[in-house]
Each structure stands twice: as C-alpha cells, then as structure tokens.
Amino acid sequence: MLLDSHSKKAFNVIDGSHSVPLSRWVLDWLTPLLLTALLYLFAFLAERILSAPFPTRGTIWWSSGIALAMAYFFGRPALLGVFVGEWLVTSAFLGRPVWLGAITGIGNTVEAGLGSWVLYRCGFSQRMGSLRDVRNLFAASAIAPTIMLVFQAGATWLNGGFRGRSMVQDMAGWYANDAMAIVYVLPFACAVRHAGEMTKKWVGRYMELLFQLLSIVLVTLLAFGTPNGFLFSGLSALAFAIVVWTSLRFDPWTTSIALMIYALVITCCMVRNLDPFPHDAENAFPHLHLLLLVAAVMAHLLSAVVAEREKAYQRIQQSAHWELVGLLSSGIAHQMNNQLTVVLGTTEMARNIMTPASPAYPVLDPLAQAVDKMSQLVDSLLAYSGRGKLLSSEVSIDVAEIVREAVYENGGAVQFGDLWKKEPVRIKVDPTLLRLAVRNLVQNAIESSKEKVSQVVVQVYEVELAFDELGDVWPLGCLPGKYIAVHVADNGDGMSPDVKAQMFEPFFTTKFLGRGLGLASVVGLVRQYGAGVRVQTEQGAGTKVELLLPKNSLK
C-alpha cells in the first residue's frame, strides 16, 4: 500500500508498475554475475598456477567460499555467476563434458544458495562480533556442502566412477574442502566489504598489526614450507598462537584477515607438496583440515567473546550516561516549569489589571506565546526523562492503526510494509506518546534520505526475542519475550558510530535547523513502558530503527 504517486515512482522496482532502466539492470544483475564468475575462475586458476609443476591437490576449494559470499551479498545474480564459473571450470579448463559441467554447476549454485539462505534465516550480521554470528557461520559451513555432495557424487559416477578410491573418502574430502572454504572466505569477504570502517580501528597500531601478520607468514612458512618441514612442525602451534593474539588485540574482521593469511600460506605449501605431515598426500589432508578447523573455531570464538564484552561495557557506560542525562533533564525541566508558572501567572494578572488601551498590553500576547513554547520544551525534557504526562493507557489500542495515523501526518514517500499478516495485536500504551514517537522516527527517516523522493518503509510485526538477541537493544533492562516491533527503514546516508551513540540525547542534532528534541518522545516511551530500541545503521546504506513494545505492557 502506497501513500501517493510519488511513493509509487520511488518503488517502481518493488511493485513492478514501471520499467527498470537498462543502467539499473546492468548494475543490479550483470555486474554481480560477471564479478562472481571471474572471482570463481580466479580462485581455480590461482590454485592451478601455484601447484605447478605438481597436479592440483584438493586442499581447500576456495571457489565455494567465494560463491557463498557473493550469493549472500548480491543474491540471485551472483548465483547465476556461480553456475557460469563452475561450468567454465569443468568444461573449458578441466576438459570434461558440457553436461558434466552443467551438473556440477547446478550443485555449486544450490550449495551457495542454501548457505546464503541459512545465513539470512539465522540473522548473520557480517560483523562476526558475537557468538551468534560465529554459530551461524559454522552452521552455514556445515549445512551448505551437503547438497553439493549429491551432485558431485552423481557427476563422478556418470563420468566413470571413483577410480580406485572409496566413495566415502572422496565425499569426505569434497565436504571438508568446501566447508573450510566457507569458514575462511566468508568472514574475510565481510572484512573486505567493510574495509573503511575496519581500518579506522588500526590508527596508531599499524606497526603492531604488521608485525603480527608478518609473524604469521614467516612462522607458517618455516613450519610448512620446506621439504623437511616435519622438523619444524611444532611451529605451526606458534603460528596459531599469533593468530589468537590478533583475535585478542584487534576486532573480529582483522582476525578474519589473519586467519586467511594463515590458511593461504599453509595451502600454498601443501599444493606444492611441502608439508610437515609424514604421510602420503591423500592421508595428509584430514590433518590439514583439522588444523584449519581448530584455528578458525578458536580464533573466531575468542574474537567474538572479546567483542561482546567490549560491547557490553560500552552499553553499560551509555546506559549510565543516558540515565544521568535523564535525571539532569528532569531536574532542569521541573525548575523551568516552576519559573514559567510564575511568569504565566504574572502575565495573566497583568492582563486582568490592564485595559486593551494600555501601551504595555500588546506585549502580553508575545510573552504568553513564548511561555507556551517554553512549556512545550519542558514537556519534551520530561518526556525524555520518562516523567512526562501520560494519557490513560487502560484501554488496549491497535498499534498498526496508530502507526498509520502517525505516517499520514508526515506525508512524503512512505511505503507501508505488510503491517499485519494475522489479526492485529492490541496492547495498553499511551496512544499520543506512541503516535508522537512514530511520527518523529518517520520524519527523521524522510529527512535523512539521499534522494529527492525519500524511500521509507514502515512495518509493524510481532517478534520474540531470546536472551542472546538483546545484545543490540537499548536499554539493558529489556527482558526476553514477545514484542510488537514498529520498524522504520530509510535509504539515507546512514550514521557513523559516534552519531548513533548520541542520536537519542536531548539537544543533539545533525541538522542545520533543529532543537534535537524530536526523538525525546521515543526515549520517553522506552522509559515509561519497559520498551526497547534497536538501531541498525551503516554509512551509505541507510538506517533501520525498531521500536520494541512489550506485548505484556508494564502499564
């Protein structure tokens, strides 16, 4: 449902009522398709070149990790690129029949699609900064390759069988190769995609990071990179210790880069028949996969735990800061209210004493208007502190209906999402305060749009949050349970971490004109009803704000 014709123009790709420009089609489809196919081919050719003069050895099938990462970032266009890349690898470079390339291409495409679906379904955030993200990463790496095994085994059987080796051994190797590629490539791809944000955390620590990464390369080369590498194989534990050091000192994305360097050095040595394992080539791979798996698990878990502790500490500091600001706002508001009462009473007394013909009488109206504006400011401060006036909330209200009213008051190009798929849930909440909070959220979303016709999507839905899903919800007092979510998303420029941390503070604004009190009603609603706010934003990628109203309201 759209509000007006401008909204329809803004969402022509969604409702299909207008044709999509050719340039947009190239950007959205052709570019991801070609980029995915080229990266897929590059990973294969790089392994072939590095393994010369030895035949290619299946240490890690890096192309599978690239396929899943591109499918997760770009969706269906990237899946077509995966099919094209695998078909070219099998048919053009390995010289196998075209139909065989089509079968393996479908298998790898389904693998990438299934893995990306698992990540979206589980709520993977790309930041690798929580145990939940680590769990989702390993869940995708465990589930996605299972589909590929069916297609790969069928293609191998149709092409002449497994040729002297057991099917179980071959399938286990395929599975491990693809799973390790996903574990290592996906976090690395997330780090590359957020390179600008990541490098800001390296300021003043470049030398330390450079020393750590060079240490990983040199120690791993010494452990794996000589024909008598088994004499130095114990150094592989030292290399892993350096990776762990990186996970404790830097952010999870930097840890992903260190892990990728670690894995690349090892696999380059393995494909050139240099390894510390005193076994034949085929029996060495399980040891390699186990080593890489343990390194990835330990490093990602440690970095996620450190990131969670740092985030919890920052949230505690922020909550304490907001509580102090709320108390200060409440005290100032009450003192201002007392003085305004005196001014207003004196003004009314003067109005009763004077006659309209008095020279000072015209001054009383502007004075009364100024007092009224100051009273509105006081109400905003009281709302922020959670001590504002509330209308009766004994009657349950339809949240979706209040949201519609608030959006219509703003106007603009706003798209209503699927507000309710089921019967509306009614909760007890002050409708005026809720309407004001939603109106300010939508207004901020419209003003932050980077296009002349803003694209703002408003949704209302029910969500159940577990304890581990409350990490990004303010305030800290929110409890696990069912919530009614009012979701407001825009296509604006997003916010920096500093702006995000201050967006709900009184008198803070990034606009040229504004008092910085528009979101005070949101904070007041949160404080008075035990609600929560979750903000997801990224510079250049818009902002999503969820206002979470407890289904069992405290009022």
- CA dist 112 and 72 (Å) reads 8
pTM over the 0.85 mark: no
What are 113-143's pLDDT values in tens digits?
A: 999 999 988 888 888 888 889 999 999 999 9
Q: What's the confidence (pLDDT) of residue 7?
A: 32
Buried-state track 4-15, b at ≥16 Cβ within 10 A, e below 16: eebbbebbeeee
Segment 187-214 shows an average pLDDT of 86
* CA proximity to 171, closest of 147, 144, 152, 157: 152
Hey, what domains does the chain have and what are their CATH numbers?
17-193 (1.10.1760), 317-385 (1.10.287), 396-550 (3.30.565.10)
Return left, alpha or beta for 503; rule: phi > 0 is left, psi -120 to 50 is alpha, else beta: alpha
Q: What's the confidence (pLDDT) of residue 78?
A: 92
- CA dist 525 and 428 (Å) reads 12
Residue 381 has pLDDT above 80, yes or no: no
Q: What's the confidence (pLDDT) of residue 214?
A: 92
Q: What's the confidence (pLDDT) of residue 55?
A: 58
What are 22-44's pLDDT values in tens digits?
A: 666 667 788 889 999 999 999 88
What are 278-323's pLDDT values in tens digits?
A: 666 566 777 788 888 999 999 999 999 998 888 878 777 777 776 7
Q: How far is CA 449 from CA 287, 445, 457, 543, 545, in A?
A: 53, 7, 12, 10, 14
DSSP secondary structure code for residue 232 in this structure: G
Q: Are 419 and 455 in contact (CB under 8 A)?
A: no
Residue 75 sits at φ, ψ, to 5 deg, of 75, -140
Segment 208-214 shows an average pLDDT of 89
pLDDT tier for residue 388 given thresholds of 50, 70 and 90: low
Residue where the block lists tokens 């699609």: 113
